[in-house]
């Protein structure tokens, strides 16, 4: 869990889609992703910016997957 890479929001959004989540709505600069079971998370939409480690941990926790599984596709 300490080996999180920093990566852009665009990569995070792409990885969420790869894991079966789709954007269902946007409010301001945040996009809500949801899977077919209703599980979801909110991702900021600031193209080109990096996601901090704390926010990345929260997104992974919201998606209810293991960090290694999330980072596998990056």
Tally of domains within the chain: 1
Take residue 13 and report the two structure tokens written for it: 């959004």
Residue range 2-60, pLDDT digits in tens: 566 667 888 888 888 888 999 999 999 999 999 999 999 998 988 888 888 888 889 88
- For residue 57, the enclosing domain spans 9-72
Cβ-Cβ contacts under 8 Å for 14 (sequence gap 6 or more): none
Answer whether residue 36 is part of any domain: yes
Cβ-Cβ contacts under 8 Å for 73 (sequence gap 6 or more): 15, 18, 19
Residue range 44-60, pLDDT digits in tens: 988 888 888 888 889 88
User: Where residue 25 sits, what CATH number does that domain have?
Assistant: 3.30.920.30
> To which residue do tokens 């920093």 refer?
6
Take residue 25 and report the two structure tokens written for it: 């709505």
Answer whether residue 4 is part of any domain: no
Answer whether residue 3 is part of any domain: no
Which pTM value belongs to this model?
0.78
């Amino acid at each position: 869990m300490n080996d999180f890479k920093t990566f852009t929001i665009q990569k995070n959004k792409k990885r969420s889609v790869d894991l079966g989540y789709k954007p269902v709505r946007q409010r301001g600069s945040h996009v809500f992703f949801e899977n077919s079971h209703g599980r979801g998370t909110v991702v900021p939409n600031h193209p080109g910016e990096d996601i901090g480690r704390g926010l990345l941990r929260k997104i992974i926790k919201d998606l209810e997957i293991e960090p290694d599984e999330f980072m596998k596709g990056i």
